[in-house]
């Protein structure tokens, strides 16, 4: 009886955990070419489950729009040599990203972020649509 209860609880926990984490493709359009934005980092959140980068970007009318970008988890970035000091507020960067599926929402998932000198400082998704990220 106890074994049956334990197996049932393990199954319930597995299902709940599966619903708790979203897939990147649910929130972001990974089927079209990524877009590039250029701007100034306003915040770099080094936290799980996803590292976040916020970038101020001038839109076509000159208005500043703050973009929210989602990256991988800390462990994946640590393995690649990135750290909480990789980006700082005030840094100028370019971000290649897959935009949110919600039209008009200034958010996306990171393909890569580069500094003006061309140095890649964060990577998550592939540069090509339909392919998984390189840290998967």
- Homologous superfamily (CATH) for 24-123: Nucleic acid-binding proteins (2.40.50.140)
pLDDT of residue 29: 73
Q: Which residue has the tokens 């729009």?
A: 65
Does the pLDDT value for residue 65 go beyond 60?
A: yes
- Average pLDDT of the residues of the chain: 80
**pLDDT number for residue 92:** 97
User: Would you place residue 6 in the very low, low, confident or very high pLDDT band (cuts 50, 70, 90)?
Assistant: very low
Domain boundaries, the chain: 24-123
Q: How high is the pLDDT of residue 133?
A: 54
């Amino acid at each position: 009886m106890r074994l049956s209860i334990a197996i049932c609880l393990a199954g319930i926990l597995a299902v709940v955990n599966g619903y708790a984490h979203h897939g990147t493709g649910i929130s972001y359009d990974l089927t079209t070419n990524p877009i590039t934005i250029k701007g100034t980092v306003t915040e770099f959140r080094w936290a799980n489950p996803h590292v976040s980068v916020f970038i101020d970007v001038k839109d076509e009318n000159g208005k500043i729009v703050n973009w929210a970008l989602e990256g991988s988890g800390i462990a994946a970035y640590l393995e690649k040599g990135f750290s909480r000091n990789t980006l700082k507020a005030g840094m100028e960067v370019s971000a290649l990203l897959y935009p949110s599926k919600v039209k008009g929402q200034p958010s996306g998932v990171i393909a890569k972020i580069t500094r003006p000198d061309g140095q890649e400082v964060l990577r998550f998704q592939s540069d090509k649509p339909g392919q998984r990220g390189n840290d998967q």
